[in-house]
Structure 1
Amino acid sequence: MADTFLKELAARLFADYGSGIADLIVVLPSRRAKVFFVEAIKHEIEGNVFAPDIISIEDFVQEIAGISAIDNIALLFEFYQVYECVTDQSNRQSFEVFANWAKTLLQDFNEIDRYLISPPEKVLKYLEDIKELEHWSVGDEKTELIASYLEFWKLLPTYYHALYQHLLEKRLGYQGMIYREAVKGLHRYLGKENRIHVFAGFNALNAAEENIFQQLLSFAKATIYWDADSCFLDDPHHAAGLFLRRYKKNWAYYKKHPFDWTSGHFTKGKSIEIIGTPKSIGQAKIAGSIVANILKRTTDLSRTAIVLSEESLLLPLLHALPADTPALNITMGYSGKNNPAQILIAKLFKLHLNSLKRNANSYVMYYKDVLDVLTHPLVEPMLRAGNLVQTINRNNYTFIVSQRLFELYGLEDGYFDLLFKRWDMDAGGVLERLSAILLHIKHQLGNDNQQDKIAKAFLYAVFKTINQLRSYFAQQTVQNLDVLHTIYKQIIDFADVSFEGEPLEGLQIMGVLESRVLDFENVIVLSVNEGKFPAGKTQNSFIPYDVKRELGLPTFKEKDAIYTYHFYHLLQRSQNVYLLYNTESEGLDGGEKSRFITQLEIEQQPSHALSHRIYQAEVPSQAYQPAVVEKSETVVNRLKELAQTGFSPSSLTAYIRDPMTFYFQRILRISQTDEVEENIAVNTLGTIIHGALEALYLPFVGRFLTKQDLRDAMEKLDQEVLLQFKKIYREGEIKKGKNLLAFEVAKRHVQNFIKMEIAEFDQDPELAVKIIALEKRFERQLSHEILPYPVLIGGSVDRIEERNGRIRIVDYKTGKVEKRNIKLNTWNGLTDDIKNDKIIQVLAYAFMFAPHAAGRDIEVGIISFKNMRAGFLPFGFVEEKSETAIVTDQISSAYINELALLLREILDADIPFIEKT
C-alpha cells in the first residue's frame, strides 16, 4: 500500500521545516485526523520532538471567532425563545408546530452565513417575493389566511437578525454564524498570531473557508496542501476534481505559487470487487465474510475500513462481523430514532399516555404496552421479568391495574417503580424520572465487553437529550404529557450517538464524511446505490434551486461533487476495494447501483483488476424439504410409554394431520407458549361452551332427564356461562368489544342446545333420556396381531346418554359440521385422509365405551353448534345404498383393523416422522 496522505504530509513538513515543525499550526478537516497525523509524525522521527499544534477546521474557526458552538437541540430552544419575543401573540405557534419548520429554516440560516451572503436579507427577501407571487388569491384583496401566511415570510429577516444577535450576546453560535464571525474577526486574529498555518487535506470549501484560507495565504501566514490526484485534477469533466480545479484557476495565490500537491496513486494497481446482493442485510453478511477472509491473512485490521453510506446498517453489520474480530473503532453518528435507549423511552411514553386512571391510587395499563417494556433488552435482564411475563400471559391479563401489576411482580425494586409508577407529575417530573431510569441502566451495565460500551454510548445520547429538555422545562409550566411527548419526538432526531474508540486499533467502521483525509489498504463500502452514495437530489431547504444558483449557495450538484471526491479518495491509495450495493428494486430502498460504479466500469484503468458479481441466496432444487425425524431408541421408548398411558383420539388425528406435530406435542411434550388472548379464540370459545354444558347438566347425571330439568338449566345459563368465561379466560376483558360478542355467542349456543332438547321432548312425550356421563374419561386396551404390543386408547367423552334404551355417544363441535362429514363409504384409506378425523374420533369413543354398554346398541355422532338445526348427526356407514347407524360388530371390527394399521405405523421404529407439506 502507498503511504497515506498524512504520512506524506508529515514527511513533507519535516523536509520543509525541520525542527521548526513545532511552530506550525496544522489545520485538518476533522478531529479524528489529528490522531492519525500524530501517529504519522511518530513514524518520521527517531528521537523526541515537539509536535505542532494540530486542530480541526471547526475548532480553528471557533478560535478565530471567539464563539462556542451550540448543539442543535439547544439551538432549537434558543430560537423558540427568540420567536416568542418577536412574534405577535395572536400568530404565535406552539413549540411542537414551530419545530416542524424551524429545523429547515435554521439549516437555511446556516447556509446563508457559511457562504457569506451579504446582506442576509437578500436571499430572505427572495423567499418573500416568491411566496407573494405564488399565493393563490384572485384579485387584490388577500384573505386572512393568505395574509397570515405571507406575514410569516416577511418576518424571516427579523427572525434571522434577532436569533443572530441573541446568540452573539451569549457568545454561542451555529456553524454558519461562527464562520461569518470568524471572517469578521480574522484581522484581529492575524494581529496576534504570527505562526504559519498549514491547511491539509481539504476539498470543498464554503465561501467563509475560502475567504479565511486566501487571506492567510496572502499575508504569507499559511501554506496549503491538497490531496489531489492527477487523474481527477487534469480531467476537466471529472466531478472529483471540480472544486480543486476551481481553486487552482481562480485563486490569486496560484498565479505566483505552485499547486501543492498532485499525486498519481489512483491509476496504480488495485483490486476492485463490485458485489450486488438483495436487501441491506445481505450486504452486512457479505461484509462480515470479507472481514473473515482478511483475518485469515492478518490479525491487524487497523488498515481495513468499512464505510457505511446509511447508518441503519451499523447494528446488522456489528452482528455480522466474525466473533474473533480483535477490536472495533466506530466513528460515525447513529440516529437517535434507532437508539435502543430511545426505543425504551418511546415505549414508556406509550405505556403511560395510554393508561387510564381508575382512582386516586391506581390506573389501568394495556397488556401490550406493559409487555413491550418488560421484554425490552434494557429491562428484562435487570428485572428478571420472565416470570411476570409468563404470569400475564397465562392469566390472560388484557388490562392490568397498576396495583395488581406490583403485586404480581412481588419484589421491592426501585427500577420497577421507576418504570411503572404512574406519571402523575408535570413534564419536569417525568423527565426527572426518565433521567433516573437511564442512570440506573448505566450503573447496571459493566465495562467488560464491547456490547456494554456500545449500550452506554446509546444511553448517553438520550440522557443528554433528556437533560436538555429538563433545562428547558425548568423555565416552563407544562402539565400536558402529550405536549411533552410531541416535543420529545421533535428533538430526538438530533440525538445522534457518537461512538468513541481507539482510532489506531482494530477494524475501522465509519460514515462517508468521517473518511476524509484517511487512507486504508482494504476498503469495504456498503450501499453504493443511487440515493445513498451519492445521496441524491433531496433538499432540506426553503430556498429554491434557481435562487441558490443565483446567489452561489450549494445545490445538489455541488453535493454530488463532494460525494464524488470522497468516493474516489477512498479508492485513491487503497489496494483492495469492495463495493457492495443493494440489487432489490422494490420499495423506497431502490436497487439501482450508484453512478460511481458505472463510471469505474466505463473509465476502467489498465492497472485495475475490476470484477462484478451478484450474490443471490442459494436456491434449493426443491422449494421446501419436509422435516424428517428418525425414531431413535429414546423415541421408541417414549412411544411405549404412550402405549401404556394412552393414545387419545385427538392425538391420533394429530398424527394423520401432520406426524411432525404429533412428534413435537406427544413425543417431545412441547406445548404452545402462553400468550395473552386479547380476543377470544375459537378453541377457547369451545372450551367455555363445553364447560358450561357440563356444569348445567351435571346435576342430572345418573337419572332420566325431564323438561323441568331443562327449564332449570335455562335459568342458570347466563350465570354459568359467565362463570366459565372467568374460569377459562381469567383476567381477560369480556364486557366490551369482540369479547362481549363472543360472550353472547356462547350464551346463544348453549341456549339453542337446551331449546333443541326441550323441542325433542315436545315432539316425543314418550322420550326417555338418561345421562350416563359428561366429560368423563374412558380407556380400553387394543390388542391386535399386527401391533408389537397392546396399546391403550383413552380420552374424555363429551356426553354419553341412554336414549330409549340405546346408547348414544355425543361429541360437541363448535365449528360447522354437516351430515356428509360423518358418513363413510369405504374403510380403505380411513386413516390416510384428515377429512375423516371426526369419524375416527367418534368411533374411538364407541370402542372405548363398548365394554360398558352391557350389550345395548351404540350410536355415535356429533352436535354442531353452528349447524344446530341439523340436530344430532349420527355416524353412518353407507353400503349398497343402505346406511347403518348402529356401531355393529362388523363396523367395530373394521374400524379396529384400520386403527391398528395407523398405530403400527406410529410405533414402527423403521418409519420416521415425516412432515406433511
Structure 2
Amino acid sequence: MENNSFLNKLAQVLLKDYSDKLSDTIIILPNRRAKVFLIDALIKQTPNTIFAPEIISIEDFVQDISGIHSIDNVELLFEFYSVYLEITTTDQDTFEIFANWAKTLLQDFNEIDRYLLEPDKVLKYLENIKEIEHWSVDIDKRTDLIEKHLIFWKKLPVYYHSLYQHLFEKGIGYQGLIYREAVNNLNHFSESVKDKKYIFAGFNALNQAEEKIVQHLLTLDIAKIFWDIDAVFMNDKQHDAGLFQQRFQAEWPYYKSNPYEWIANDYSQEKNIQIIGTPKAIGQAKIVGSIIEKHSKELNGQLQDVAVVLGEENLLLPILYSLPRNAGALNITMGFSSKNNPAQLLIAKLFKMHTNALTRNSKSYVFYYKEVLDILTHPLLESYLNTSDLVYRINQNNYTFIVHSKLEDLHPNGNELFQLLFQKWENNPLQVLKTISQILLIIKSNLSKDSEEEKITNAFVYSIFKIINQLTSYFSTATHVNSIETLYAIYKQIIDVAEVSFEGEPLNGLQIMGVLESRVLDFETVIITSVNEGKFPAGKSNNSFIPYDVKRELGLPTFKEKDAIYTYHFYHLLQRAKNVYLLYNSDSEGMDAGEKSRFITQLEVEKQDNHNLTFQTYNAEVPENATQAIVIPKSESVMHRLSEIAKKGFSPSSLTTYIRNPIQFYFQRILRISEVDEVEENIAANTLGTIIHGVLEELYKPLIGKILIENDIENCFKKVDDEVLKQFKLKYREGEIKKGRNLLAFEVAKRNVQNFLKIELESIINGDQIQIIALESKLERVLEHPKLPFPVKIAGNVDRIENRDGKIRIIDYKTGKVDKNDVILKTWLDLTKDIGNDKIIQILAYAFMYQPDSKGLEMEAGIISFKNLKSGFLPFNFKSVIGLEQVITPEIMESYIEEIVVLLNEIFNFEIPFEQTN
C-alpha cells in the first residue's frame, strides 16, 4: 500500500511529534494484529535504531487497568455451571440444557457490563416483562411449567451477582466484567500513569465503558485519539458508516475545544470496483482463485497488498482449495468455527462409533461397519493406519456389525494409533478424553511442518486438542458427570462456542481474514465474498433475552448499531483500495439462496465520480449433454483379447451385456474390471437370486437322473429352512440376517423355494413325468460358420435341464418379474439390436449349447420367474404363420445362429468401436 495508509500516517505522527518520548508512549489499537503492521510502518520510516512504543489492543489495555485476566468462552461456561450448581439446590439442569440458555445469558451479562448498566434494574425489567406475559386473573391457574419459567427470570440477578463475585475473587472474567472493573479502577490507574502518553488509533464504535475510559484519559490530557473516517461518510448525516463518529464529535466535551482527527479524503479517489454475482458459495471460491491467479502474475507473487475478506467463514476451506499454485505464502487471520473443523468431525465420528458400540448390545461391545469405515478412511488417519487389508476384509465378508474382539482378530498387528481409536470406551469420561488427546498428538506428530496445507491442518488439530485439554481439566474435578453420552453432549456445546486460531506471517503473502480482522488495515486490492443480505451485513439475529424495545430504552446496541458497524467495516475496506472485487451469491432459490447486499445498491446509488463500477454475472457452463458418450476404438491388443474370449467362450450374459452397453462389455470382458467389494448391508436382488439358485441346486442334487415322485418333493420341503440358512451364510458371509430388511429377504427366499416346490408337486400329482438331467450345468459348444473370421465358443451355466414327458426342457430361473410376452419372438429381424430380446437370446443360447446332447428329442427352453410363479414355466415361442411354435426346431435354431453371427461379427469388426449407449 502506498504511504497514505492509516498506519503509515500514524507512524509519521509518532516519529514527528513523539520521537523524544516514544518509550513512554502506549498505542492502543482495536486488535492485536495491527501491531505488527504499525511496527513495520515505523521501521520503514526511520533509518535509525529507536525504542519502539508499547503497542497493545484495547482488550489488553482494559485488562491492564482492571487487573483481571480474560478467560475464553469455554472456560467461562464451565465456571458459570459450577456457580449454577452451587446456587441451584433442586431441579438442576444437565450441562447440555444449561449451556443452551447460559450462552445467551452470558452474552446479555456481557452487554450489561460493557454498557455500564445497573444489572438489577435490567434483569428486574426482564422479570416484569415475563410476569406481564403470563399474567392471569386467577393465579391458581398457572401451571407448574409457567411457575418454573417465572422462577428462572426471578433468579437472573442471583445468577449474575454470584457469577460476577465468583470470577472477581479468582481474578478472571469475561470481557464485560473486565470493562466494568476497569472503569471502577480508572481514577487509581490514571494517578499511577501520569508520565505516560496514550494514543488510541483506528477506532469506530465504542461501548459505554470504552467511551468512559477514553474520555477520562483525554480530559486528563494524557491521551489522544486518532479516528479513521472519510469525509464522505462524516459529512453525510444519513450514512451509517459515520453513525458513531458523528455522535462522538457532537457529544464529547473534548471536541468543543479540540479538532476531530483524522478525517481522510481517500474514498472519493479513483477506484475500480467489480461486482460479480455467481450461483452458490463454491462459485465464489472459484472466482476468488482466478482473481488471485491474475494478480499473482501481475505482482510476481508479491501478494501482501492483496486481502481476501470472507463475509462468511464457511468459505475458508473452499477458497483454500481454489487458490492457484502461484499464490505463495498465506496468512489466515479469522475466527473459524470449530463446528466445521475437520479434526472436530473426526472426534464426532469417534464419539458416534463408541457411544453406539456401548449401547448397541448390553452384553458385548459391537461396532457398526459404516462407523468403522468412516474412521479407517478419514483423511487425517488413512495414510497412517495401513488398514487397506482390513477395509477389504470388512467389505468382502459383509461384516455389518463387528464385535470388538473380532475387529482385533481381523487386524492383529494394528499400530498404536489403531489401538487408541478402537480400544473400548468404558463409562469413564476422563479416560476417554486422555485417549482422544493421545490420538490428536499422534496425528499432529505425523503432519509435515513445511507443507502450507498441513500447517492449516495443524491449526485445526491443535484447536481441538486445546478443547480436549480444557474438558480434561474440567472432568478431573467434576464428579457429577460420569457417562460418555453426557461427555459428548458437553463436547457438542463447547464446540459451539470455540474457534480455531490461525497463525501466520502477517507481513508476507496473501491475507485471508474475517471482517473484524480487517480493522485499521489498508490494502490495495480487496476481494470481499458473500456480499449478500444476512451475510454482509449480518442481519437481524437477536441472540439475546433482552427485547429490542428494552435495548433501545436502555441504550444497548441493537441490530441497527450492528448494521452501522458492518457498514463502517465495509466502507473502510474500500476507503484506500484501488481494486475492489465484491462477490455475491446470485442464486435466489434453494438451500443456499442469497439476495444481493444493500451495500452494492448503495454503491450504485451514491456512486462517486472517480469510481469505475462494473457488473458481471458468472454462471457455470452447462454442457448440452450431461455426459459425453464414451467411444473406444478397437486396438490390436483389444482384438487379441477378443480372440482369447472366443477360444475360452462367450457366455449368453456377455452377449446381452454387449447389446445393452458395449462399454460395459469392454470394461467387464476386455479389461476384466470387476465391481469393488462393498458391504452389502441389505441383501441385494442379485444376492437373493444366487441364494435361491443355490438352495434349489442343493435340494434337487440327490434327485438327478431319477423320475420324481411326491415323496421326493415332500423331503425337499423338510430341508428348506436349513438349506436357505446354509446358503445365506455361504453367500452373505458375516452379514446380519436376523434383523430388519434382511430377515424379510430371508423369509422371501424361503417362501419362493416353497412355492416352487408346490408347483413341482402339483405337476407330479397331475401325472407329469419329470426326470432331472442336470443342475447348474456348465455347457459349451463351438460355433463354426462361414461368415465368422474364426470358430467361436459359446459357454455358460444353465440352471436346470429336465426330461418332461419325453421332451427336453431347458429352464433358466429369474428372481425378477418375467411375463410370457417377454419370451415370444415375432421376427428374427434385428433380434440382437433390441435389448428387450435379451431373455430370448440367453435361453436360445442354452438350447444351442445343449442341442448335440438332446439325442434327437424335442427341445423347449424357457424361464421360471419367481415373481410370476403362478404362470409356471414360460417357454420360448416363435410367432410364425401357423401360430406359436414352442418346440425349438432346426429351422428356429438356424435362424437364431444367423442373428448371433451378425452380433459376433459386429464385436469382431475392427472398424466398429465400443460406443456407450443410453
Q: 1:579 aligns with which of 579, 582, 590?
A: 582
Match of 1:794 in 2: 795
Deviations 1:189-226 (A, max 9, x none): 11111211111110011111111111111111011111
For residue 479 of structure 1, report the CA deviation from its aligned partner. 2.5
How far did 1:736 drift? 1.9
Q: How far is the alpha carbon of 1:625 from its aligned partner?
A: 3.2
Residue by residue, what CA displacement relative to the aligned partner does 1:525-558 show, whole Å, maximum 9, x if unpaired?
Answer: 1111000000000111000001111111000000
CA deviations over 1:650-707 (Å, ceiling 9, x no partner)? 1111122222222222222222121111111111000000011111111222343333
Q: 1: distance between equivalents of 2:109 and 2:284?
A: 38
Task: Check whether the contact 1:137–1:146 (CA below 8 A) recurs between aligned residues.
Answer: no
Once residues 42 and 134 of structure 2 are traced to their aligned partners in structure 1, the CA distance between those partners, rounded to angstroms, is: 61
Shift of the alpha carbon at 1:881? 5.1
| CA distance, structure 2, for counterparts of residue 21 and residue 548 of structure 1 | 42
Unaligned 5+ segments in structure 1 are none
Within 5 Å, give how 1:309-320 maps onto structure 2: 309-320=311-322
- Taking a change above 3 Å as real, the CA distance of residues 450 and 860 of structure 1, as seen in their structure-2 partners, is same
Instruction: Tell me which residue corresponds to 2:202.
Output: 201
Q: What whole-Å deviation, never above 9, does each CA across 1:819-860 have from its counterpart, x for those lacking one?
A: 111101111121122111110110111111122223222110
Work out the CA distance in 2 between the residues paired with 1:170 and 1:147: 34
State the shift of 1:408 in Å: 0.6
2:154 alignment counterpart? 154
1:25 to partner: Cα distance: 0.5
Look up the match of 1:615.
Answer: 618
Which amino acid in 2 is paired with 1:561?
Answer: A
- Is residue 170 of structure 2 the alignment partner of residue 135 of structure 1? no
**Does residue 107 of structure 2 align to residue 107 of structure 1?**
yes
Match of 2:343 in 1: 341
Q: Which residue of 1 aligns with 2:608?
A: 605
Whole-Å separation in 2 of the counterparts to 1:721 and 1:380 = 39
Which residue matches 2:271?
A: 270
User: Cα offset for 1:791?
Assistant: 2.2
Amino acid at match of 2:169: E
Contact 2:204 2:244 in 1 (8 A): yes
Aligned length: 913
Structure 1's 564 and 899: CA in aligned 2 closer, same or farther, altered over 3 A?
A: same
Corresponding position of 1:900: 901
* Candidates 325, 328, 352, aligned match of 1:326: 328
Answer whether contact 1:653 1:840 (CA < 8 A) is retained: yes
Secondary structure at the residue paired with 1:271?
A: strand
| Counterpart for residue 840 of structure 1 | 841
Q: Which amino acid aligns with 2:841?
A: I
Offset, 1:588: 4.8
Equivalent residue runs for 1:864-903 within 5 Å: 864-880=865-881, 882-903=883-904
| Within-5 A mapping of 1:59-208 | 59-87=60-88, 89-117=89-117, 119-135=118-134, 137-141=136-140, 142-193=142-193, 194-208=195-209
SS at match of 1:817: coil
Task: Read off the aligned partner of 1:322 and give its amino acid letter.
Answer: P
> Alpha-carbon deviation of 1:624?
4.4
Q: Deviations over 1:684-731 (max 9, x none)?
A: 000000011111111222343333322222222211111100000001
Provide the C-alpha distance between the structure 2 equivalents of 1:374 and 1:412, rounded to a whole number of angstroms.
12
Aligned with residue 643 of structure 2, among 640, 656, 681: 640
Q: Counterparts of 1:718 and 1:138 in 2: how far apart (Å)?
A: 71
SS at match of 1:831: helix
Distance 2:826 2:362 in 1: 68
Quote the offset at 1:114 in angstroms: 0.6
Please point out which of 378, 381, 384 is paired with 1:382: 384
Equivalent position of 1:36 in the other structure:
37
Q: Aligned letter for 1:474?
A: S
Q: Secondary structure at the match of 1:355?
A: helix
Q: Distance in 2 between matches of 1:300 and 1:272?
A: 21
1:824 and 1:222 map into 2 onto residues whose CA distance is 100
**Residue in 2 aligned with 1:656?**
659
Within 5 Å, which residues of 2 pair with 1:328-477?
328-356=330-358, 362-477=364-479
- Matched to 1:128, the amino acid is E
The 3-state SS of whatever aligns with 2:90 is helix
Task: State the Cα deviation string for residues 375-413 of structure 1 (Å, max 9, x = none).
Answer: 111222111122211111110011111111111112142
Query: 2: CA distance between counterparts of 1:294 and 1:312?
Result: 24
2:533 and 2:647 mapped to 1: Cα distance?
67
Could you give the per-residue CA deviations for residues 141-179 of structure 1, whole angstroms, max 9, x where no partner exists? 333332221111111111111111110001101001111
Cα drift, residue 817 of structure 1? 1.0
Mind listing any 5+ residue stretches in structure 2 that lack a counterpart?
Answer: none
Shift of 1:358: 9.1
For residues 304 and 238 of structure 1, the distance between their equivalents in structure 2, rounded to whole angstroms, comes to 27
Which amino acid counterpart does residue 108 of structure 2 have in structure 1?
D
Of 515, 518, 521, the match for 2:518: 515
Match of 2:542 in 1: 539
Cα deviation for residue 97 of structure 1 reads 1.1
Partner of 1:284: 285
**1:2–1:265 CA contact under 8 A, matched in 2:** no
Report the Cα offset of residue 20 of structure 1.
Answer: 2.9
Q: How does 1:658-677 map to 2 (within 5 A)?
A: 658-677=661-680
In the aligned structure 2, how far is the partner of 1:769 from the partner of 1:471?
Answer: 79
State whether residues 280 and 593 of structure 2, in contact with CA within 8 Å, keep that contact through their aligned partners in structure 1. Answer: no
Q: Corresponding residue for 2:752?
A: 749
| CA distance in 1: counterparts of 2:583 and 2:905, whole angstroms | 56
Amino acid at match of 1:599: Q
Q: Is 641-650 or 545-554 further displaced after alignment?
A: 641-650
Q: Are the structure 2 counterparts of residues 210 and 588 from structure 1 closer, same or farther at C-alpha, using a change threshold of 3 Å?
A: farther
- Separation of aligned partners in 1, 2:604 and 2:733: 67
The Cα of 1:619 is off from its aligned counterpart by 2.4
Cα distance in 2 for partners of 1:15, 1:356 equals: 70
Equivalent pair of 2:62/2:179 in contact (CA under 8 Å)? yes
1:568 aligns with 2:571: yes
1:89-135 CA-to-partner distances (Å, cap 9, x unmatched) read 22322221111100000000000011111x21111111011001101
Are positions 1:909 and 2:910 aligned together?
A: yes
Could you tell me which residue of structure 1 aligns to residue 488 of structure 2?
485
TM superposition shift of 1:136: 5.5
For 2:867, what is the secondary structure of its paired residue?
A: helix
Task: Give the drift of 1:911.
Answer: 1.7
Percent sequence identity is 60
Q: Supply the distance in 1 between the matched residues of 2:731 and 2:764 (Cα, whole angstroms).
A: 32
Partner amino acid, structure 2, of 1:108: D
CA distance in 2, matches of 1:359, 1:277: 50
In 1, Cα distance between equivalents of 2:625 and 2:368: 45
Is contact 1:454-1:499 (8 Å) kept? yes
Aligned partner of residue 807 in structure 1, secondary structure: strand
Query: Runs in 1 of length 4+ with deviation above 4 angstroms?
Result: 356-362
How far the C-alpha of 1:230 sits from its partner, in A, is 0.7
The one-letter code sitting in structure 1 at the alignment partner of 2:116 is L
Are the aligned partners of 2:708 and 2:764 in contact in 1 as well (CA < 8 Å)? no
| Closer, same or farther: CA 819–359 of 1 in aligned 2, 3 Å | closer
Q: Distance in 2 between matches of 1:345 and 1:434?
A: 8
- Between 361-370 and 200-209, the greater mean CA deviation after superposition: 361-370
CA deviation profile, 1:286-330 (whole Å, cap 9, x unmatched) = 101111111111210111111111111111111111123211111
CA contact (8 A) 1:827 1:895 kept: yes
Relative to the length of structure 1, the TM-score reads 0.97
Q: CA RMSD of the aligned region, Å?
A: 1.6
State the secondary structure of the residue aligned to 2:797: strand
Q: Which moved more, 1:442-451 or 1:865-874?
A: 442-451
2:765 counterpart residue number = 762
Q: Does 1:498 align with 2:497?
A: no
Q: Deviations over 1:220-263 (max 9, x none)?
A: 10111111111111111111111111111111111111111111
